[in-house]
Structure 1
Amino acid sequence: MVNGISLWYTINVYMFWSKGLVIVVDDNKERLQKVMASCGVASRRKCEEIITEGRVKVNGVKVTELGTKVGKKDIIEVDGKILFKQEHVYYVLNKPTGYLTTVSDSLGRRTVMDLLDPETKKTRVFPIGRLDYDTSGVLLLTNDGDLSYRLTKSQKEVEKEYQVRVSGIIDQPAVTKLIKGVMIDGVMTKRAKVQILELNKKNDSSLLTITITEGRNRQVRKMCETVGFEVKKLKRVSFGGVTLDGLGVGEYRPLKPHEIKKLYSL
């Protein structure tokens, strides 16, 4: 079998090995979590957790060190299953409210994965970032851990635009505060873009668009609450330039080539 593996690497084709397929990795060694993410296991951060939990083996040996590097001759197992490299796929989902943004839920609650057809699930996609249970709109899904990492790491300023309905008639001083930054959870938010779309005095509410470059927990809601306005309805209408593009609630579509290219350029 060793000769078989050597032959496989020489001619560079896939072959079956034990319980799965041998992973294809470039000649240069890469960090284990990066390789796992590129194979669609999960986001890079989640892969790091999987490693430290002792669920990964390299060449039959359990690995828990995040600095571990692997090359193309290394056989990687996660939870006893050998990884294989797969084609990357990219989708945008019009997330409804009432769904958790996660791959699975231990309490059996509805997740965004319930909105995908079985064939799409086979590609092992996962959400890029999160949308709250009661927030709707643009949610990206992929099995490309590298792209997920690029778009969610803190130093990347990826624009996310939200349409926000708040209680009350918002005034310019509150808008100015939102633009300049407000203190939430002990940390000042970065500058935001804010535009008033509607002041509905009859229903005592205001409609805004707020564009942020961070991805902190319930950030837009907390920003509005800090300046005295409770969010009644929140929808993300754009992530890195990707929009819903006519999708109905709960529907999804593959990203177009130019959209993928743009996301990688951010």
Structure 2
Amino acid sequence: MRLDKFLANSGIGTRKEVKDILKNKKISVNDIFVKDGKIQIDEEKDIVKYEDKIIYYKPFVYIMMNKPAGVISATEDNHHKTVIDLLNNEYRTYDIFPVGRLDIDTEGLLLLTNDGVLSHNLLSPKKHVDKKYYVKIANSLSDDDIKMLENGIKLEENFVTKKAKVEIICNNSEKNENLAYITISEGKFHQVKRMFKAVNNEVLYLKRVKMGNLSLDEKLKLGEYRELTEEELNNLKV
């Protein structure tokens, strides 16, 4: 691997910044200062140091975010703040992107990474990765509503939702407390909202709490994030 790529992928700086860092003799390979970013190194065997501190190569990053409303699931946008804008400079040299999307007014679990293979596996329709949502709705759900939601609803001429799971938390229209969890294995545009609309209901609040085997860390406040633990990442790859 080229040294400049190694440095950029390790979070040291952008390619341009890395060039200046090398020029100023701040990088050593096996205790020899190097100025040429084009040289090839072995990221597993060679010891690379920045200002005498060993750089441990980290090609991929995996971040769990508690996405707030008003922020879009995109890498850039001319009109709205994106989830990438919420990240600090530590991750600016990685080409991080959100895995899938949450609507601008939807909160909760969002995975961000630069691992295209993992992203593909989680989003592929063939994998049937479950997504669990906490939902506040306008009206209580009848048994027939639940059966329709769980057995599949025709949303478009050629699209019927796959089987879902509905768990009632509270069914009380008088107190305006109609809460439930719904688990789906697809991710069509506004799917959860459209499913409830199909049973004459309205989603008032929506929050994703789980994706595959990854559950939202309840300690994360809206807009906060952290890297996945090794256990979480291993479970996600199952």
Smaller-chain TM-score bracket: 0.7 to 0.9
Q: 1:215 offset after TM fit, Å?
A: 1.2
Q: 1:200 offset after TM fit, Å?
A: 2.5
- 1-structure distance, mates of 2:123, 2:198: 24
- 1-structure distance, mates of 2:58, 2:155: 40
Give 1:92's match in structure 2, choosing from 64, 82, 104.
64
Q: 1:264 offset after TM fit, Å?
A: 1.4
Q: Give the letter for the 2:200 counterpart.
A: G
Residue 14 of structure 1 pairs with residue 2 of structure 2: yes
- 1-structure distance, mates of 2:176, 2:58: 51
Deviations 1:70-110 (CA, angstroms, capped at 9, x unpaired): xxxxxxxxxxxxxxx961110110000101100001x2311
- 1-structure distance, mates of 2:106, 2:84: 16
Q: Give the letter for the 1:119 counterpart.
A: E
* Equivalent residue number for residue 201 of structure 2: 229
* Equivalent residue number for residue 241 of structure 1: 213
Write out the 4+ residue segments of structure 1 that deviate beyond 4 Å after TM superposition: none
* Equivalent residue number for residue 38 of structure 2: none
- 2-structure distance, mates of 1:99, 1:120: 18
Q: Give the letter for the 2:169 counterpart.
A: L
* Equivalent residue number for residue 88 of structure 2: 117
SS at match of 1:260: helix
* Equivalent residue number for residue 261 of structure 1: 234
Equivalence map 1:212-227=2 (5 Å): 212-227=184-199
- 1-structure distance, mates of 2:208, 2:3: 43
* Equivalent residue number for residue 34 of structure 2: none
- 2-structure distance, mates of 1:200, 1:252: 34
Q: 1:208 offset after TM fit, Å?
A: 0.6
SS at match of 1:262: helix
Equivalence map 1:41-80=2 (5 Å): none
Unaligned regions of 5+ residues in structure 1, if any? 1-12, 22-84
Q: 1:190 offset after TM fit, Å?
A: 0.4
Deviations 1:217-240 (CA, angstroms, capped at 9, x unpaired): 111111000011100000000111
Give 1:195's match in structure 2, choosing from 135, 157, 167.
167
Conservation of the 8 A alpha-carbon contact between 2:138 and 2:203: yes
Q: Give the letter for the 2:67 counterpart.
A: K
Residue 157 of structure 1 pairs with residue 128 of structure 2: yes
Using the TM superposition, name which of 197-206 and 237-246 deviates more.
Answer: 197-206
SS at match of 1:228: coil
Q: 1:158 offset after TM fit, Å?
A: 0.5
* Equivalent residue number for residue 36 of structure 2: none
* Equivalent residue number for residue 100 of structure 2: 129
Q: 1:256 offset after TM fit, Å?
A: 1.1
Q: Normalised by the size of structure 1, how large is the TM-score?
A: 0.67
- 1-structure distance, mates of 2:206, 2:95: 28
- 2-structure distance, mates of 1:181, 1:194: 12
Q: Give the letter for the 1:256 counterpart.
A: T
Name the % identity: 39
Report the count of equivalent residues: 187
Equivalence map 1:25-36=2 (5 Å): none
Alignment RMSD:
1.8
Q: Give the letter for the 2:225 counterpart.
A: Y
- 2-structure distance, mates of 1:97, 1:241: 24
